[in-house]
Amino acid sequence: MRLSRYFLPVLKETPAEAQIVSHRYMLRAGMIKQASSGIYSWLPLGFKVLKNIENIVHEEQARAGHIAMLMPTLQSADLWRESGRYDGYGEEMLRMQDRHGRDLLFSPTAEEMFTDVFRTYVRSYKDLPLTLYQVQWKFRDEIRPRFGVMRGREFFMKDGYNFDLTKEDALHAYNRHLVSYLRTYERMGLQAIPMRAESGPIGGDYTHEFLVLAETGESGVFYDSEITDLTFGDRAIDFDDVAQCQAVLEEFTSRYARTDDTHDQALFESQVPEDRRREARGIEVGQIFYFGTKYSESMGATVQDQTGAQVPVHMGSHGIGVSRLLGAIIEASHDESGIIWPEGVTPFHCGIVNLKQGDAEADAACEALEASLIALGLDPLYDDRDERAGGKFATMDLIGLPWRITVGPRGLKNGVVELTSRRTGESEEMPPEQAVARIAQIYRRAQA
Ligand code: P5A
């Protein structure tokens, strides 16, 4: 993409309404525009990152054997009356009527809708286990929407629902989700720690939230510092292997880690030596639940078991805050000049900065670099505007592309360009072909 033809409405001023760094940078980098309180338009740069995050979620869901589909955002109140949540959900649910006076709502989550699809089509235990999911817009009329996409009213969520014959099978589905979420967040460059939490309006008493540690997080958290040494890495997992998934769950959840809703100070002190006790803040980027037969019983979602009896299925639901993740990633990865995207989610793989636009040799070298990167399947952003170098560097730093290739007449005389890491600020001179090869290699590694 040529920057001169792109739509990147970068702001020079720091917007006064933005209280935290991720919100400030998302506005300044032209990623989002507030449409109304807690509702955002996704401008091209923000949309690209949102899609990258969504793609990682889909890839990891597929790896775990879960099946994607799509539900409507507007749902009939009658379905929600069956589970009792139409009256129970409270003011966060946005309700409306159509021209015939029928009650509708904008889905804040979709347990009822998925349970309804399940009960319509599935009859036998032989069709289980089954996990269906979607990535879809949700609406919650939050009393205090704030921090941009962190606590929106309209937000993008991955929500998955498992249907199993027994509690034991459903707990395996729970563990499978925990394992696949660990991988998902790590691919986005995040450490998200599973912590014991409250279940709230979703229900059930078995749930973990995934928290990214950050001073600006809305949740208070208490944990054993040893937990921050754990990484999932690229270990091979067989998602059908019950013992293997259970072992990962135990590895990642046996140490004390709780949000303030479930924190127990006496237990904390008895389980964790004083020098390892941490009290901090975190951003909730996901939550998994096992709630048994809560929805299947009230909505009649049963299957025939091996003995021919009709039994309600055991269920859980599992969510990832896809749009919130942009904020969480920026909170975890930025400096005073702007965002630093992890390679896994970056909107462009690298920037190309032409120090002397209009100089025939520099222009040709930039165009050749751009073409070779594209030929390798990469997506560069070439700043071809007739601007001062300082301004171009400031834009690249703000929008946070992990790598920048700088091209100028002086370097070209010696046959070199400069490759700079956004994260370390370190630069290295090398021939253009070598810079292209290095970038290709970095992303091959990031995708492996
Ligand atoms: C699990 C999926 C559920 O709704 N039902 C379907 C379950 N869980 S949850 O914890 O309430 O939400 C899942 C994740 O969505 C994100 N989230 C939000 N993101 C932005 N703005 C909001 N107002 C908001 N509310 C929830 C969180 O990351 C949460 O973990």
Written as six digits, the tokens of 84 are 């009792």
Whole-number Å distance, alpha carbon 108 to ligand 1 midpoint, is: 9
Whole-number Å distance, alpha carbon 286 to ligand 1 midpoint, is: 7
CB atoms within 10 A of CB 274: 6
> How many CA atoms are closer than 13 Å to the CA of 294, on its beta-carbon side?
21
Please check the confidence at residue 447 and state whether its pLDDT lies above 90.
Answer: no
Say what the pLDDT of residue 448 is. 63
CA angle 7/381/368 to nearest 5° reads 130
What whole-number distance in Å separates Cα of residue 396 and Cα of residue 394?
6
> How many CA atoms are closer than 13 Å to the CA of 101, on its beta-carbon side?
0
List the residue whose alpha carbon is closest to atom 17 of ligand 1. Answer: 321
Of residues 247, 187, 197, 241, the one with CA closest to residue 221: 197
Residue in 139, 287, 294, 315 to alter for ligand 1 test, most ligand atoms within 8 A of Cβ:
287
Of residues 158, 150, 155, 157, the one with CA closest to residue 139: 155
Residue 398 CB contacts under 8 Å (≥ 6 apart), including other chains:
10, 25, 28, 29, 337, 338, 339
**Domains plus CATH for the chain?**
3-338 (3.30.930.10), 348-447 (3.40.50.800)
Helix (H) / strand (E) containing 118 = helix 111-121
Query: Beta 94-97 vs 74-76: how paired, if at all?
Result: unpaired
Whole-number Å distance, alpha carbon 142 to ligand 1 midpoint, is: 12
Confidence of residue 273 (pLDDT cuts 50, 70, 90): very high
Orientation of helix 242-253 relative to helix 167-187, angle to 10°:
60
Query: Beta 417-421 vs 427-430: how paired, if at all?
Result: antiparallel
pLDDT tens string 32-70: 999 999 999 999 999 999 999 999 999 999 999 999 999
pLDDT tens string 287-344: 999 999 999 999 999 999 999 999 999 999 999 999 999 999 999 999 999 999 999 9
